[in-house]
Amino acid sequence: MAAPRWRALGLWIRGNGQGLGSLLSPVSKPFCSAAAASTSVNAQRLAERLRAQKREQDTNKKPVSTNPVQRRVQEIVRFTRQLQRVHPNVLAKALTRGILHQDNNLVVVNKPYGLPVHGGPGVQLCISDVLPILAKMLHGHKAEPLYLCHRLDKETTGVMVLAWDKDMAHQVQELFRTRQVVKKYWAITVRVPMPSAGVVDIPIVEKEAQGQQQHHKMTLSPSYRMDNGKMVKVRHSRSAQVAVTRYQVLSSSLSSALVELQPITGIKHQLRVHLSFGLDCPILGDHKYSDWNRLAPQKLSMGTLKKLGLEQSKARYIPLHLHAQQLILPALGSRKEDLNLVCKLPHFFVRSLRRLGLEMPNQNQNENDEAECLGAQ
């Protein structure tokens, strides 16, 4: 019965336009009232949902600490969580404000804390995702995407080199691979390395750590071990990789130190492993390599916690204090001189130095000390 009614309706509309309003009005009113009722229900549900979310936020909201250090820790935690929800355009704009060097071949940026370089499981935003946007901000909408020349860990801050084209990126990557790039990192360590300067030359291998949670970590694979006071050569692991790190203490207190690290090789987590397992001085905020068997917040002494103004229960929020402070790229392309790239320390790193009583070294004095150290070797 419905089909004839629609046919009659079509004929009636074409034949008598004056009756259109009177014909549609009785049909439209039920639909309009139904739509209005549906809209009202949806709006009511949305309002209830928003009120529930607001109540949950108010319940979970923590009081703002009066301690400036704990307040800063809360800021870092909030910043790290928000970083993955930042729009790519906002992140690209932030990277433009941290440009250390720019020419026709390279763009060098200051990588922020907590931002991964590559994507992966659970990663919603990374540097490689915003390279096309960053290129357009710097060179206009027709610009080709920038290319990564090397990588830094998610928690590491500092100098990061990008290239305008793939060929230049490959050239820079070859410089890194052949160890022609001088890389210097600054780290705050728990305890003071002894001796105060030297070279850690111990291979590194990835192994499964046995504990409550099964997980994999990089660890040392030494060629020798002590057996009843004698040096005994151990069987070489085929998967072990040569790892060499030069280090020098720049400033120290009773329980911590500011250390300059120069990795000669580029093995995964090399600096963290050599400091923690080789020198027994883990990096402040390194919750992965402070203990081999456990994945747990770093254990700190009462003296260190007091200086930082923290309780052990809050130690999990301390960020990794590892900063890519300097890169020296050799002459490349049209550039005839070495390119010296230096990046200032992040604010949280500087605050920790002050709290722990560690002095910021004079750069010129640091270079002289390094020259003397190298000359004595």
Q: Which amino acid is at 25?
A: S
Band of residue 210 on the pLDDT scale cut at 50, 70, 90 = confident
Question: Which stretches of 61-97 are DSSP H helices?
Answer: 68-83, 88-97
Count CB atoms within 10 A of the CB of residue 275: 26
pLDDT tens for 225-257 read 777 788 888 877 788 999 999 999 999 999 999
Greatest Cα-to-Cα distance within the chain, rounded to the nearest angstrom = 111
Span 354-367, average pLDDT: 78
Which element (helix H / strand E) includes 215?
A: strand 215-220
Does 37 have pLDDT greater than 50? yes
Question: Per the structure, how many domains does the chain have?
Answer: 1
Name the catalytic one among 153, 165, 201, 369. 153
pLDDT tens-digit profile of 110-132?
Answer: 999 988 998 877 777 889 999 99
Residue 192 located in a structural domain: yes
| pLDDT higher than 80, residue 18 | no
Inside any domain, residue 3: no
Structural domain boundaries, residue 194: 68-201+242-361
Cα–Cα dist 185/266, whole Å: 13
Joined tokens for residue 231 = 């040096």
pLDDT score of 25 more than 70: no
Q: Is 48 left (phi over 0), alpha (psi -120 to 50) or beta?
A: alpha
pLDDT grade for 334, boundaries at 50, 70 and 90: confident
CA 325 to CA 331: how far, in whole Å?
Answer: 20
Q: How confident is the model at residue 199 (pLDDT cuts 50, 70, 90)?
A: very high
For the segment 149-157, the average pLDDT, to the nearest whole number, is 94
Residue 153 annotated among the catalytic residues of the structure: yes
Residue 229 lies in a domain: no
Instruction: Give the CA-trace dihedral at 350, 351, 354, 359, to 10 degrees.
Output: -10
| 230 located within any domain | no
Confidence (pLDDT) at 11: 39
Residue 168 confidence (pLDDT) above 60: yes
Q: Rounded CA gap, 283 and 271, in Å?
A: 9
pTM of structure: 0.75
pLDDT of residue 82: 61
The pair of structure tokens assigned to 238 is: 């085929």
**Calpha distance 74→203 (Å, rounded):** 38
Q: What is the pLDDT of residue 13?
A: 40
Alpha carbon distances (Å) from 268 to 17, 203, 243: 78, 12, 10
* Residues whose CB is less than 8 angstroms from the CB of residue 34 and which lie 6 or more positions away in sequence, other chains included: none
CATH of the domain at 158: 3.30.2350.10
Contact 318, 298 (CB under 8 A): yes
d(CA 318, CA 349): 10
Partnered with residue 319 across adjacent β-strands are none
Position 155 in a domain: yes
Nearest alpha carbon to residue 162 among 76, 102, 229, 231: 102
**Residue range 256-275: mean pLDDT, rounded:** 97
Indicate whether 225 belongs to any domain: no
Is residue 220 a part of any domain in this protein?
A: no
Is 246 inside a domain boundary? yes
